[in-house]
Copies of this chain bind each other. A is one copy, B any other.
């Protein structure tokens, strides 16, 4: 750690506190920078609301001390949106010098409030990490590296500060709803799964791994029917099957499209892009959950 005033990581996100997302990121920060204090600003930015997060960060930032801001409100996680570390020009000694997070407008108002960016590093993706939890796998390691005084060029490539996306410039993707699937062709494989977790964002985690999808014949980009039945031991069916597509990231999904992806824990999950799969599919609150039956079709018609 280089000299100067003690530094903290100031951590803001839309992770909520019901799940372990924020806690796991704190654990990663401790593992990589154990001498550094983590100051939680808030983790209850409304899910996916980049503008609300940017406003909260802008309000907060002039009261922070030395260190690094770690901010994650990131509906584009897993797409080609950049992860960035933004350096502040001439920040006073008792103010943050770096802001780390997605390049989607979240960081810019706070950076401007602190004096403006004079250097931006586009973070290099880390090998083998998941594509849905960059807070844990990309941003926290970068923040830990920088707060310890590490070389910024070791974690990415310099890009021009004026290429940062400003608030409101992010893409116009809309929250999606569920589209029922028609009966199309004959199945090549089926599997029945149980729900293991419904997280704050409404993602429905199942007791399946990537190997199960391979056995099912569901490759990336491939389609499957998804049908909800009663809890284990019952036979009731919950309405029509839904059509879903296997993707690597939430944002690959269009409006009205249900996705199947391998989540940050290596489990298969049913997801929407910036909407609750649990809500759209009619999962209720606590209690016995329906089971999920996948049927993969030989051919993939219009969908």
Q: Taking beta carbons and an 8 Å cutoff, which residues of A are in contact with B?
A: 5-6, 8, 10, 12, 17-20, 22-24, 26-28, 30-31, 34-35, 37, 39-44, 46, 55-56, 59-60, 63-66, 94, 136, 196-197, 265, 286
Contacts and interface: CB of A to CB of B under 8 A. Distances in A.
B34 A37 contact: yes
A23 B35 contact: no
Most B-side CB within 10 Å, residue of A19, A39, A136? A39
A35 B63 contact: no
Given A19-B42, A20-B41, A20-B42, A27 B60 contact: yes
Contact of A17 (B10, B17, B19, B94): B17
Given A59-B265, A197-B55, A23 B40 contact: yes
A50 to B, nearest CB: 14
Contacts of A286: 46
B8 A65 contact: no
Nearest to A29: B39
Contact of A27 (B39, B44, B56): B39
A6 B34 contact: yes
B17 A44 contact: yes
A77 to B, nearest CB: 17
Contacts of A27: 8, 10, 39, 41, 60, 63-65
A240 B17 CA distance: 40
9 contacts: A6-B34, A12-B23, A17-B44, A19-B42, A20-B42, A23-B39, A23-B42, A31-B94, A59-B265
